Amino acid sequence: MHTDRREFLRYASATGALLALPGASALGQTKTDAPRKLNLLVLGGTGLIGPALVEYAKSRGHTVTLFNRGKTNPQLFPELEKLRGDRDPSKGEGLKALEGRKFDAVFDDTGYYPRHVKASAELLAPNVGHYVFISSISVYARNDIEGMDETAEVGTMPDPTLEEMGKGYEYYGPLKALCEQAAEAAMPGKCCVIRPGYIVGPGDTSRRFAYWPMRADKGGEFVVPGAPTDPLQVIDVRDLSEWMVHVAENKLTGRFNACGPEKKLEWGKVIEACVKNGSKPSTPRWASLEQLEKLPQARFQIWAPYAGETKGFHMVSNAAAVKNGLHFRSIDEIVKDTLAWCKTLKPEQQAAILASMPEELEKQLLEGLAKKD
């Protein structure tokens, strides 16, 4: 049994445009609820988090400006001011477009290297009231401890000046931790660090979560790893984005784990929602840890063994964020909306999601499980 470590460490890498779907605000807010209209800057704004963040901020009546290279989904938000530049101050015009600009709050969800975050945060510090940095629970040094909160030890790397993720993305977490420290140092008393878990929902092109509702929708038997009682933590990109705006409106500072839902979500409930929302009858075939050890060729998305070094991976404490207003929509709504979004994709894109488990391999796994019954 193999679960790619890259899938454990990369959370917000999807770059597809978010296609808006109907759904009530998880915070239950309306445009008139905003305490005051804010002038917001989004560093990025065109990937997974960005579009959801921009749409919600606009619905609250805030003014939004984007800063990016103009390469990813440049057609989005033609009505907004777009500043062109690069997070790396040594490339092209770098951060020049941000010089002298004043904003009430900045959202940084594209900071992966501390040198880049330090440069942007220090440049903006004199003219910005609040800096919201989107990190990751991958910062934590260990995944075997259940209930870890924001005080848990973070990972380190031999050379903190190295600007590459490393083989298997083993430096992703330590680099994010260094980015957090850079932002906090540049913005003392004005910085909020948000550490999401797996970010899912409409617009997530990473395949990590989307595979399961898509596979159930295909119908027939399919292999599911682990046990129905195993934990799973995900946060819908819309819930995360709405809370990010809430954080800015209320000038929250500190560090917060943004993992959902509020209480333990069982893996079996996720699969149950996938089966329920599928268009064809489907049957999950559960493969226990013992069975998976005998199926080394198997690769599975988003799930992590509830044992050993990953026992705490989907059991990170979100108490601080929940106390400060983070709410979550139901797993049924997430699955339903994710599937609906997936069906708007081109056939080849849908096929790519399902390719996470090749048909021939799935057939072999099912046959292997049948022999063990």
Are the C-beta atoms of residues 299 and 223 closer than 8 Å to each other?
no
User: 63 or 373: whose pLDDT is higher?
Assistant: 63
Give the model's confidence band at 294: pLDDT under 50 very low, under 70 low, under 90 confident, else very high.
Answer: confident
Give the type of residue at 332: D
Share of the chain above pLDDT 70, in %: 91
Contacts of 358 (CB under 8 A, 6+ apart): none
- How far, in Å, CA of 353 to CA of 340, rounded? 14
Give the model's confidence band at 35: pLDDT under 50 very low, under 70 low, under 90 confident, else very high.
Answer: confident
User: 266 or 14: whose pLDDT is higher?
Assistant: 266
* 29 has a pLDDT exceeding 50: no
Give the type of residue at 222: F
Q: In the structure encoding, which two tokens stand for residue 269, read together?
A: 């409930």
For CA atoms 174, 180, 183, 187, the dihedral sign is negative
* 373 has a pLDDT exceeding 80: no
Average pLDDT score over the chain: 90
pLDDT 10s digits, 159-175: 999 999 999 899 999 99
Give the phi and the psi of residue 339 in degrees, each rounded to 5.
-65, -45
Q: Which pLDDT does position 296 carry in this prediction? A: 79
Give the model's confidence band at 4: pLDDT under 50 very low, under 70 low, under 90 confident, else very high.
Answer: very low
Q: Which pLDDT does position 201 carry in this prediction? A: 97
Residues in the chain: 373
Contacts of 253 (CB under 8 A, 6+ apart): 130, 189, 190, 191, 192
pLDDT 10s digits, 262-280: 999 999 999 999 999 999 9
Taking domain 5-372, whether its CATH number is 3.40.50.720 is answered by yes
Q: Which pLDDT does position 15 carry in this prediction? A: 28
Give the model's confidence band at 258: pLDDT under 50 very low, under 70 low, under 90 confident, else very high.
Answer: very high
Answer left, alpha or beta for residue 258, where phi above 0 means left and psi between -120 and 50 means alpha: beta
pLDDT 10s digits, 90-137: 999 999 999 999 999 999 999 999 999 999 999 999 999 999 999 999
Provide mean pLDDT across the span 302-315: 96
* 256 has a pLDDT exceeding 90: yes
Are the C-beta atoms of residues 17 and 46 closer than 8 Å to each other?
yes
Are the C-beta atoms of residues 178 and 156 closer than 8 Å to each other?
no
Are the C-beta atoms of residues 9 and 138 closer than 8 Å to each other?
yes
Q: Which pLDDT does position 25 carry in this prediction? A: 40
Contacts of 312 (CB under 8 A, 6+ apart): 142, 143, 144, 145, 146, 147, 148
Q: In the structure encoding, which two tokens stand for residue 166, read together?
A: 């490393």
* 27 has a pLDDT exceeding 50: no
* 244 has a pLDDT exceeding 50: yes
User: 1 or 132: whose pLDDT is higher?
Assistant: 132
Domain boundaries, the chain: 5-372
- How far, in Å, CA of 244 to CA of 226, rounded? 33
- How far, in Å, CA of 321 to CA of 258, rounded? 6
